[in-house]
Structure 1
């Protein structure tokens, strides 16, 4: 049986429902070293709901004070306009400000960092890497048009 978008979405939601609470707990515990080389927990307040969100997600490090996450769905819209966030990473919680990137040129440059540091990210975003390590432009364009965004987190 071939997977359809709806079965892929249902599988993804099931994995999130099971994995996210476990990952959040581990990443905020003394056992964080098991996962924190690839995952962080980003915490932010929903703009409309006022609800506090704590989401485990893969990341790439841009430099000592900047991280990069690739986000599908619509929750990244809460991070537009320099949203204040908290990031639990490597056993520490740091504050940060976000910068959402949806432009294709900048996204291509940034996603190259993501692919180099966390190749599994390509599977989740359906963006393949070319032989030179850069993202396939058609895949990237399709992802951006479908609601995918890259978010820089400037740590404070």
Structure 2
């Protein structure tokens, strides 16, 4: 963790590892071989400003029957006003609509519920976060992290 005083910080794998594995993971997630990799999904979308196509492997989170991505990455803003996406998850291809959830209270609720549901070890791994002392963060810790790290969620639902 980069901020030792913070209860929650970003804890992604090294950049070289991500650059090496993401293309491989992306290919696998597009096939039936992706079925056992249910912790991940491939999000394919078109850039809001650039018009370029993107395919990004991310952790998949299910909450109350809905599919979410939780991230601090800047590409999340492509979903600010809602955007279509093709999701490859658990060996299935689905055409969904992603909507950015940036309201801090809503994001805090989502990430806290996910972390509690996963437990501290799995939450750190699947959410790309490190928790101080390996303990589950409090709601106040999440409030700080969401604001400080600019964490948001994208909720994916069936297209209208």
TM-score by length of 2: 0.76
Structure showing greater relative contact order (alpha-carbon pairs closer than 8 Å, 6 or more residues apart): 2
1:42 equivalent to 2:50? Answer no
Q: For 1:49, what is the secondary structure of its paired residue?
A: coil
Q: For 1:78, what is the secondary structure of its paired residue?
A: helix
1:148 equivalent to 2:136? Answer no
Q: For 2:57, what is the secondary structure of its paired residue?
A: strand
Ranges in structure 1 where 5+ consecutive residues have no aligned partner: none
Match in the other structure for 2:110: 110
1:4-30 CA-to-partner distances (Å, cap 9, x unmatched) read 69xx99963212201111111111123
- Whole-angstrom CA distance in 1 between matches of 2:29 and 2:154: 20
Match in the other structure for 1:57: 58
Aligned with residue 28 of structure 1, among 30, 48, 57 = 30
Q: How far off is 1:94 after superposition? A: 0.9
1:71-118 CA-to-partner distances (Å, cap 9, x unmatched) read 122110111111111111122211111221222221121113322245
- Whole-angstrom CA distance in 2 between matches of 1:67 and 1:75: 17
Match in the other structure for 2:82: 82
Length, aligned pairs only: 148
TM-score by length of 1: 0.77
**Cα gap change, 1:71/1:129 in structure 2, threshold over 3 Å: closer, same or farther?**
farther
Ranges in structure 2 where 5+ consecutive residues have no aligned partner: 4-9
Q: How far off is 1:60 after superposition? A: 1.3
